[in-house]
Amino acid sequence: MAGNCEVDSCYPDEFGCNNEGCEVLKDCPHYKPAQKTAGEQVPQTDADEFFIRAPWTGNAMGLKDLEYLASLNQLTVIGITGAASAGKTTFLATLYCLLRQGATVGQYRFAGSLTLTGWENIAWYLSWKEDNSIEFPEHTTSNAGRVPGLLHLKLRDKNNRTKDLIFTDAPGEWFDHWAFNEKDPNAAGALWIHTIADAFLLFADCDMLASNQLGKARKQTRMVADRIKQGINNRPFALIWSKSDVTLDPDIKAQISTYITNSPISQYKEFETSVREGRKGEYHANVCASIAWVLSMLDRDLNESPVVISKKPEDMFLSIR
């Protein structure tokens, strides 16, 4: 579509008018048609004049899209945190591939998504290749368009109860900046995730911790953990030992675990995961188990629904229900 919008939060090239709600774009005071240079012909189409905003595109969501979804359902936002290249996006791709093959998250099964294209984009790397090779999703860069990318999953149990989950797929550099200075302008996205998330998964990179970069990796993990714990209240916090197929000195794991738990955390647990299955599929099982644990912790904090008497003679309204 030829044109753009002066409002930073509006993306007419993706969705149509998102700010004023104009069905005819030329009626929007903020929309500006593309400017023609000397001798250039800019073709006009019906789409340039009449463009209804679609509520979703299948790609990873932005903040405006989140407003749409939040107006329809109660959302559970899971903050995926950790240093750059710690395996955050690979974890999400593994989760989706497992659900796509019929795996369950506790009692819940995959029931749909408004970001299927976004999931498929990252899961493609882990899908079967002709030479039976495994590739890993590209690094989520800090200039990768509208970030954080928000990936949606709908889960349903056998009683037809549903959960709408939002996973943040954000650049690790955000958390590096946030760990050193929470007021750093480059850390604004990480701070937003910390504010809005209902639960957190912090990724500790076993591969990096087992290498000559041990000091750096240990420091990054500890510092991000410290930030998450500030104002966490009763929100669940899980430490994900990513790339657990790499052998890591137990003493190093114990040091990091002890550091994180040296101050009380009401809901905390650790999981060993990897893109590899592990012995008897334990690493893959833990990918789903980590999300199931988060949901169980959040459900535990919900108030029980009151019992409503279906018939009460002295109450005319209840009697005719």
Which tokens belong to 46?
A: 């019906």
Give pLDDT, residue 1: 42
- Rounded to whole angstroms, how far apart are CA atoms 51 and 46? 8
Q: Are residues 133 and 14 in the same domain?
A: no
Tell me how crowded residue 6 is: count the other CB atoms within 10 A of its CB. Answer: 11
Q: Are residues 153 and 208 in the same domain?
A: yes
Q: Which of 112-126, 149-163, 184-198, 305-319 has the lowest mean pLDDT?
A: 305-319
pLDDT tens for each residue of 210-258? 999 999 999 999 999 999 999 999 999 999 999 999 999 999 999 999 9
pTM above 0.85, yes or no: no
Query: What total of structural domains would you count in the chain?
Result: 2
- Report the pLDDT averaged over residues 9-24: 55
Q: Are residues 181 and 247 in the same domain?
A: yes
Q: Rounded to the nearest 5°, which phi and psi values hold at 134?
A: -115, 125
Say if 139 falls within a structural domain. yes
Q: Are residues 137 and 38 in the same domain?
A: no
Say if 317 falls within a structural domain. no
Q: Are residues 147 and 267 in the same domain?
A: yes
Q: Are residues 88 and 5 in the same domain?
A: no
Residue 108 DSSP code: B
Q: Are residues 148 and 192 in the same domain?
A: yes
CATH of residue 95's domain is 3.40.50.300
Q: Are residues 141 and 26 in the same domain?
A: no
Say if 13 falls within a structural domain. yes
pLDDT tens for each residue of 25-43? 666 777 777 665 555 554 5
Q: Which of 90-94, 120-124, 261-265 has the lowest mean pLDDT?
A: 120-124
Give the domain range for residue 33.
1-54
> Virtual CA dihedral for 61, 191, 89, 62, nearest 10 degrees?
10
